[in-house]
Amino acid sequence: MICAVATRLVSNSELSSFLKGRGHQSGHVCNIPDIHWKDHSENNQHLDSSHFMDPENLSYQISEVPTDLNQIAKDKGKTLEQLSTELGTLWWRADQFFRIAKSSVQSAKDSEFPEKSHVKNIDHPYNKGIFDFMTHLSLMGHFVGDASVPYHNTYDYDGWEKGRGGIHAYYESFSVDALGMDLENLVFENALEVKRQTDSAIAKKSVIQIMKQLSVQAVNELPEVESLDPMTEPSEKNSKSYAKRPSADKGAKAFKKLIIPQMARSSWALAQLWEKAWNEGGSVSFKAYRSYRYPLAPEIVPLDYLGK
């Protein structure tokens, strides 16, 4: 949903025209890290920890976490691999996909348009660059979306410490699925309002600064999530007995006023990051792109920021 809406929020006319008809494609790729990759033989704890931030494990508040991963390692006397599993690397994973998307634009920009006989050649540098740009900006969207979910930004990611075991899926999956078919438009309209209220200087911020801002906003809303939780019986940590809650329809009604703005913030941030990657990569023209290639199952992209 976040990726699909983001394709309608890009300001630049050329990039906007290219993305508007690809909302379904972007939405599909955006979900790949939670489906195809989760069941992949190469999946590991470092890939899993790239979906979240656990600042409390290193005695941070989310607002206090430095944006330089190497500086954190130095300050805490940790290796980058230790940070990966203890802190989580959500912000840096989004930055990785941004860098790949930007580089893909540069590759397409630096190549000649395909000759008539090669317009659908998937190995042509222009076609490959644009295809990789589309794929990686959508993969980035998954992690930009994760940043706006409160429970992706705290070590108590499923509520067990507060007797709310099971809150993660109930909040971010079941309750979202129970919202109406008008959800996409509600997120879009809310994102337009976020756009009107956002300082234009956000475009000058780094990817990690934007991700941190989303995470801080999400954590600030955690107390309200808990106050709205329609739990009827608390969980029991020792026995791993989940909290009892009513149907997801009631969860959707309780959480709607938080879920929609959170999704909208990520959609708007994502649209800005896409435009930022395209601009910084050289603003390649899409007029020669004729490929119908569809990224059904992109392979896992290894982490490139852990010193290996």
> pLDDT digit string (tens) for 97-156?
999 999 999 999 999 999 998 999 999 999 999 999 999 999 999 999 999 999 999 999
Q: According to the model, what pLDDT value does residue 40 have? A: 87
- pLDDT of 150-178, one tens digit each? 999 999 999 999 999 999 999 999 999 99
Q: What is the pLDDT of residue 200?
A: 62
Q: Please write the tens of the pLDDT for every residue from 147-157.
A: 999 999 999 99
For the chain, the domains span 2-280
Element (H, E) at 107: helix 90-109
Q: What is the pLDDT of residue 93?
A: 98
3-state helix, strand, coil in the chain (%, to 5): 60, 0, 35
pLDDT of 39 reads 87
Mean pLDDT along residues 63-84:
97
Q: What is the pLDDT of residue 307?
A: 84
What is the CATH number that goes with domain 2-280?
1.10.575.10
Q: pLDDT grade, residue 41 (50/70/90)? A: confident
Per residue in 263-293, pLDDT (tens digit) is: 999 999 999 999 999 999 999 999 999 999 9
Across 47-58, average pLDDT: 97
Mean pLDDT, rounded, for 205-219: 96
Residue 197 CB neighbours (<10 A): 8
Cα–Cα distances (Å) from 301 to 85, 97, 176, 256, in that order, read: 18, 9, 28, 33
Element of type H or E holding 236: none
Confidence check: pLDDT of 203 > 80: no
- Residue 163 sits at φ, ψ, to 5 deg, of 70, 25
Band (pLDDT 50/70/90 cuts) for residue 185 is: very high
d(CA 115, CA 61): 54
Alpha carbon of 266 to those of 22, 190, 213, 261, 290: distances in Å? 18, 11, 10, 9, 30
User: Please, what is the average pLDDT of the chain?
Assistant: 95
| Mean pLDDT calculated for residue range 42-56 | 96
Phi then psi for 236, rounded to 5 degrees? -125, 110
